[in-house]
């Protein structure tokens, strides 16, 4: 499960995802469920950057309750409702890193995971439009109607000691394929596994990230001079 991530360098979004930024975006260091996030999707053949709410309540949920923050990627195939969501609502969530918690007895130590060679990456996600359609452009101050959930997969060797799931990271060279509505999810299965551990790095961070609403750059800074291994 992934329920926190950061976007410390949003100015990199334009180059990384080949979209326009209609305004300067503030850095985010502790993005929590239910908050407004950014998604990149394809609309009429063009990539667009939109605001979305993190939390999806798709029609195929048997017991509607709290919105889904994460969806297991392996559960999307072979089920009509889920397949439709995966094929029609694929998008990318720009992120600089994500958090997971390592339980040690009763204590929980937060860790920050990021790519070694890039300040930004795209998290695989699916989205739907809830309620009446409105203009969801980043520059529009009105509340976004789009809602989304992140896809998760089994952990790689770096994440596994901390958590049994990790978000799906789409390689930059595969952004076009992931966003292409002409491709079925079945054709994209190789993208839904864990990214190579060697491409990532991780470090323990402060308990500041435990508190929602706290936007502090110290949330992603190393809490100790040590690595996961």
How many Å apart are CA 101 and CA 112, to the nearest integer? 9
CA distances from 214 to 31, 58, 211, 220 (A): 9, 29, 6, 12
What's the CATH fold of domain 5-98+116-197?
A: hypothetical protein yedk fold (3.90.1680)
Give residue-wise pLDDT tens across range 31-70.
999 999 999 999 988 999 999 999 998 877 776 678 899 9
Find the mean pLDDT for residues 115-135.
83
pLDDT value of position 140: 53
Q: Catalytic residues, which ones?
A: 2, 100
Q: Which of 131, 107, 120 is nearest to 204 (CA)?
A: 107
Q: What is the pLDDT of residues 138-176, one digit of tens each?
A: 545 445 478 999 999 999 999 999 999 999 999 999 999
The segment with the largest mean pLDDT, out of 69-83, 93-107, 125-139, is 93-107
Percent of the chain with pLDDT over 90: 69
Q: Is the pTM of this model over 0.85?
A: yes
Find the range with the poorest average confidence among 64-68, 180-184, 208-212.
Answer: 64-68
Domain ranges of the chain: 5-98+116-197
Q: Take residue 207 and report the two structure tokens written for it.
A: 């308990």
Task: Give the C-alpha distances (Å, rounded to integers) separating 195 from 27, 100, 192.
Answer: 25, 16, 9
């Amino acid at each position: 499960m992934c329920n926190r991530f950061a976007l410390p360098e949003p100015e990199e979004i334009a180059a990384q995802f080949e979209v326009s930024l209609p305004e300067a975006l503030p850095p985010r260091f502790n993005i929590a469920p239910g908050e407004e996030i950014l998604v990149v999707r394809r609309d009429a053949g063009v990539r667009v950057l939109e605001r979305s709410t993190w939390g999806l309540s798709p029609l195929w949920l048997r017991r509607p309750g709290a919105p889904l923050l994460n969806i297991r990627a392996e559960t999307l195939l072979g089920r009509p409702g889920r397949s439709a969501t995966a094929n029609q609502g694929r998008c990318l969530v720009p992120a600089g890193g994500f958090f997971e918690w390592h339980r040690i007895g009763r204590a929980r130590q937060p860790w920050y995971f990021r790519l070694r060679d890039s300040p930004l990456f795209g998290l695989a996600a699916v989205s739907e439009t809830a309620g009446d359609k409105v203009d969801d452009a980043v520059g529009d101050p009105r509340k976004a109607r789009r809602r989304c959930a992140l896809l998760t997969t089994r952990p790689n060797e770096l994440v596994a000691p901390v958590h049994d799931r990790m978000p799906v990271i789409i390689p930059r060279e595969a952004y076009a394929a992931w966003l292409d509505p002409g491709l079925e999810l079945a054709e994209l299965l190789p993208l839904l596994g864990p990214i190579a551990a060697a491409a990532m790095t991780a470090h323990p961070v402060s308990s500041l990230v435990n508190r929602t609403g706290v936007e502090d750059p110290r949330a992603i800074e190393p809490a100790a001079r040590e690595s996961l291994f």
